[in-house]
Amino acid sequence: MFYFCYNILSAFLLIPVLLYHLYRSISRGRPAALAERFGFISNDILTKTGGRPVIWLHAVSVGESIAARPLLKALRSRYPDHTILVSNTTETGRGIAATFPEIDVCIYFPFDFLPAVRRTLDLIDPKLVIIMETEIWPNFTREARKRGTPVILANGRISDRSFSGYLRFSWFFRHALQLFSRLCMQTSVDSQRIAAIGAPADKVLTCGNLKYDIPFRQTSEEERLRLRCQYSIPNNLTVITAASTHAGEEQQIISSYQELLNVNNDLFLVLVPRHPERASEVAFLLDKSGIRYCRRTALTGTGLLQSGTILLVDTVGEMMNLYALSDIAFVGGSLVPTGGHNLLEPASLGIACLFGPHMSNFREISSLVLQYEAGVQVETIREFVSSCQNLVSNVDLRQQLGQNGLKMMAENGGATGRHMEIIGGYL
């Protein structure tokens, strides 16, 4: 009865969903790829599977794709005769995933509309499906299990903010959760929460966070200088990168930067909106402030930008390079109640980081960063300015925070191995 009602509802919601995707794609200047989302996959894509058994990993967007990278590398190494297919929901996620050499095929995840799901599963015929973090689609999970395809949830998490919502609709989610072969959660708290929502307790395992298994290393001075030259940033400036920023944060950061320049003009700010299609919106704020700036896409590769300038990044896929050339990193989505973003990326390169009070989506990581003294959490914009000034003037403190971050990465890995042990039982 549940699935009958769900599919009736899905049919009614199909038009609004289509309109939303069309609007989203047009507004962001990207193809909607509706054919793939309805399960019409081109022969060019299908031939890339090479007739080999398929391991299908689904990662919604950029963050999930990056988090899946250690697992993808391990799958490629252990199962060289399998095709590794990655699906994404967002265009930016697809753009990032397509750059990973471990992947053979990239597609868009189908709408959870029964004909679309059936057509996609029939064409791909995966031997195993791995779903990153917490994506619960009733039709997809049910149809996969009908075909005898195991479905594993990897790197699962239930944030503080979303838990109450999941509980309220546990009557909906439990049907799909009971069909997962295994649910590999990041922490014991996540394991307890997914069980409370309706997952069978005997299928839930605590396997750690895959994000701790990203490669980590101290950024060399040679690499830092090379990257600064690539981005036209003078070598002698202290570079602050404000990454993955959201609406409401950029204005605060711009004002703070102007205040910092009053004390020390040997600064340079790299400003990276979480969604590059917001670059024009951020450019408007910069124009209004009167501060000098240059878009990433406008860099000519000749000459250097001046101190006190802002580089506005309107591209994707460059975040790790931008962290590597920095002295200080601010991780956005945390000065506004968005839930924060991944602190492990700057930590993995030995870069001192700052972040705001809103870290509900990364509670474990932010707690560990503070425990290891690998970063500084600020509660207000005044604290942000003060902490930035402290880090700008104290090279030793920056280096110590960076070293603490590398130590944290070294001591908290191993999730990939635990996930691979579970996955190996189904291949």
* Marked catalytic residue, from 64, 135, 249, 250: 64
| Strand 151-156 with 267-273, pairing | unpaired
Q: Name the DSSP letter for residue 111.
A: P
Nearest alpha-carbon partner for 228 in 293, 307, 341, 314: 307
d(CA 351, CA 198): 40
Told to judge if 64 belongs to the known catalytic residues of this protein, a careful annotator would answer yes
d(CA 293, CA 303): 15
In the block, residue with structure tokens 């004909």: 115
- Name beta bridge partners: 293: 310
Residue 99 near residue 33, CB atoms below 8 Å = no
d(CA 187, CA 265): 44
d(CA 278, CA 268): 21
Q: Name the DSSP letter for residue 210.
A: G
Q: Where is 9: in which H helix or E strand? A: helix 2-28
d(CA 115, CA 139): 10
Residues recognised as catalytic: 64
